[in-house]
Amino acid sequence: MKKKNVGKSRKLHFCQKRTRGFDLPVPTAMGQTRKLTRSRATLLAFISIAATCLCYVARRTWYQRHLGPFFKGKVLTESRFQKEFSTFSQTRRELVSPGSIGRFMKHAGLNVFTFLIFTRWREPRMFQAAVDRGETIDPLTYEQVEEEQVSVGRPQALRLSLSRLWEIDFRTEYPPIYDSFDVLLFWNARQTQGWQRFDTWASGAVHSVFVEIPEGQDEDIRLKLSEFKEPLRGMSSARKDDDPYFLVIGAGDTHLSRPPVHEFVSSLVKAKYFDRIYFEAYDVELPTVWPMPIGLTDAYVLAVRSGEIERALENIDISSKQGVLAAWGSWWPGLDKKLPWRKSLVSWVNSTNWIERSMVDRSKWYPALARHRFLLCPDGAGVVSPKWTEALLMQTIPITPPLLYYKKLRKMGYPFVIVERWNDITEENLDEWWAQLSPQLESAAWMHTSSCWWELLKQASDDVPQVQSALERCSALYQI
């Protein structure tokens, strides 16, 4: 009797490379093998390629989520990221060239939430509040927004975040930059354990702090800030070392000039613990206090499809930029009647025949910014609005009123045009401003990445913090 030819079947793994040829043994029901037909081999090759692609996407997503490039203000020592930075560019020039941020993000597999700076981040708190109320938040897709013409506000942005959990888990996570601070204080949300203890500060071990500024009535603000009684006592008797100590107060619209806030910050200055204090809604001067360079706002970014900002960054072309973009008030139109510089800007734009106000669709905001040389940036509810940071990110020059906040940032090296009155904006002046400031745009754009923003904040206290010197240290972290 002829012996049956029983061959060993080869097990196919999910991430295995595709098999060449058409003679791959395939197990049969009787344990025998038979050769593939051409059609079966083609189908198997297609499945293998698809599986390989899925594995690649899965690995890429894991790197984006779990190997964010910044930890304690420095690039992770992971060899993968060192390789990404070194292979992206061998020269400093590539780091500060049009579109370099977008190209690097694409090269390293990063997204806006892991690479750019966000100073407004309220999703985790809002999700927790919904859970506490027993509510369910239904996901919303960008296709639904377009088909149903949904107007995106913060509630809709929260729902949209559920369709982007692969970038960052908005329900519980914060951007990586917040892990860099020794002490982090988000009221009723995320707080560093033991921050209220005297010895936490008296040891001098706390060098970097982020505090969310309370909002509400003066009595409510004063009550929350009273929790700093023991920390202030510890700061006054701290044993400090030679490393920089800095405090960032932001994530809210409460002005520095508010009485309870001004009293609190003045007590921090008097304690002489921090070399420098950065305040978001900066509207009055205090020793060692500087305006906080604000970052992006979570809800505003979530109104834009995933990948749109990255593509807009990659496609920036300085040589093709033209004109002035006059677009503001999409989210908070009522501010046009409340804020003085907005009211005067509305009046001036209506009186000109060469600048026209436009309402840009939120999904097209960043490409529109990237096409223009200038953006009109009036005041905001928190002294300024984040439009200036969105503009510089897209290498567009903000034209601003003469607020103390902007004057201080310009002293630091940010390329603003500050006008005493809107009538100073003329076509001749625009050409002069562009020739003067456009060479600084590439460097300024990098200040909105997490690592460069961190390097700017921790500069020595005896100097004015400078964009250019921060960029030099930032590029050293990139090993360029």
What are the phi and psi torsion angles at 35 (to 5°)? -80, 150
Q: What confidence category does residue 257 fall into, taking pLDDT thresholds of 50, 70 and 90? A: very high
Return the domain boundaries, the chain: 1-66, 176-291, 310-477
Which three-class secondary structure string do you get for 295-328? CEEHHHHHCCCCCHHHHHHHCCCHHHCCCEECCC
pLDDT of residue 50: 74
DSSP 382: B
Q: What confidence category does residue 266 fall into, taking pLDDT thresholds of 50, 70 and 90? A: very high
Average pLDDT of span 39-57:
68
Average pLDDT of span 173-196:
94
SS3 content of the chain, % helix, strand, coil (to 5): 45, 10, 45
Instruction: Tell me which residue of 476, 20, 470 sits closest to 246, measured CA to CA.
Output: 470
| 114 contacts 170 by C-beta, under 8 angstroms | no
How far is CA 462 from each of CA 237, 412, 466, 477, rounded to the nearest angstrom? 22, 13, 12, 23
pLDDT of residue 83: 47
Q: What percent of the chain has pLDDT over 90?
A: 67
In this predicted structure, the answer to whether residue 8 has a pLDDT above a threshold of 80 is no
User: Average pLDDT of the chain?
Assistant: 84
pLDDT of residue 40: 66
Question: What would the pLDDT profile of 125-137 be if each residue is shown by its tens digit?
Answer: 999 999 999 999 9
In this predicted structure, the answer to whether residue 208 has a pLDDT above a threshold of 90 is yes
Classify domain 310-477 at the CATH topology level.
Rossmann fold (3.40.50)
Instruction: Tell me which residue of 191, 181, 81, 114 sits closest to 458, measured CA to CA.
Output: 181
Residue bearing tokens 């002046």: 429
Structure tokens at 252: 């809210």
Q: What residues are paired with 120 via a beta bridge?
A: 297
Spatial separation of the C-alpha atoms in residues 392 and 295, rounded to whole Å: 11
In this predicted structure, the answer to whether residue 473 has a pLDDT above a threshold of 50 is yes
pLDDT of residue 63: 42
How far is CA 76 from each of CA 66, 109, 152, 436, rounded to the nearest angstrom? 11, 15, 36, 37
CA-based torsion, 80, 85, 86, 87: positive or negative: positive
| 256 contacts 283 by C-beta, under 8 angstroms | yes
| 94 contacts 100 by C-beta, under 8 angstroms | yes
Spatial separation of the C-alpha atoms in residues 228 and 197, rounded to whole Å: 9
Question: What would the pLDDT profile of 75-110 be if each residue is shown by its tens digit?
Answer: 333 344 444 444 444 444 455 566 688 888 888 888
Please name the residues in contact with 193: beta carbons below 8 A apart, sequence gap of 6 or more. none
pTM for this model (two decimals): 0.81
Residue bearing tokens 């198997």: 44
| 159 contacts 138 by C-beta, under 8 angstroms | yes
In this predicted structure, the answer to whether residue 5 has a pLDDT above a threshold of 80 is no
Helix, strand or coil for residue 213?
coil
| 208 contacts 179 by C-beta, under 8 angstroms | no
Average pLDDT of span 26-55:
58
Average pLDDT of span 139-158:
92
How far is CA 365 from each of CA 204, 309, 326, 337, rounded to the nearest angstrom? 44, 9, 12, 23
In this predicted structure, the answer to whether residue 26 has a pLDDT above a threshold of 90 is no
Average pLDDT of span 366-390:
96
148 versus 50: the higher-pLDDT residue is 148
Average pLDDT of span 410-426:
96
N- to C-terminal Cα distance for the chain? 73
| 250 contacts 297 by C-beta, under 8 angstroms | no
Spatial separation of the C-alpha atoms in residues 46 and 50, rounded to whole Å: 6
Spatial separation of the C-alpha atoms in residues 130 and 133, rounded to whole Å: 5
Question: Which amino acid, residue 160?
Answer: L
Question: Which amino acid, residue 301?
Answer: V
pLDDT of residue 355: 94
| 459 contacts 465 by C-beta, under 8 angstroms | yes
In this predicted structure, the answer to whether residue 20 has a pLDDT above a threshold of 80 is no
In this predicted structure, the answer to whether residue 45 has a pLDDT above a threshold of 60 is yes
Question: What would the pLDDT profile of 287-328 be if each residue is shown by its tens digit?
Answer: 999 999 999 999 999 999 999 999 999 999 999 999 999 999
| 430 contacts 374 by C-beta, under 8 angstroms | yes
In this predicted structure, the answer to whether residue 432 has a pLDDT above a threshold of 90 is yes
Spatial separation of the C-alpha atoms in residues 305 and 189, rounded to whole Å: 27
pLDDT of residue 72: 34
Structure tokens at 113: 């939430």
Burial class (CB in 10 A: 0-12, 13-18, 19+), 50: exposed
pLDDT of residue 85: 47
93 versus 230: the higher-pLDDT residue is 230
pLDDT of residue 58: 55
pLDDT of residue 65: 41
In this predicted structure, the answer to whether residue 48 has a pLDDT above a threshold of 80 is no
Spatial separation of the C-alpha atoms in residues 177 and 186, rounded to whole Å: 14
CA-based torsion, 138, 141, 142, 145: positive or negative: negative
Please name the residues in contact with 213: beta carbons below 8 A apart, sequence gap of 6 or more. 249, 250, 251, 252, 254, 261, 279, 280, 281
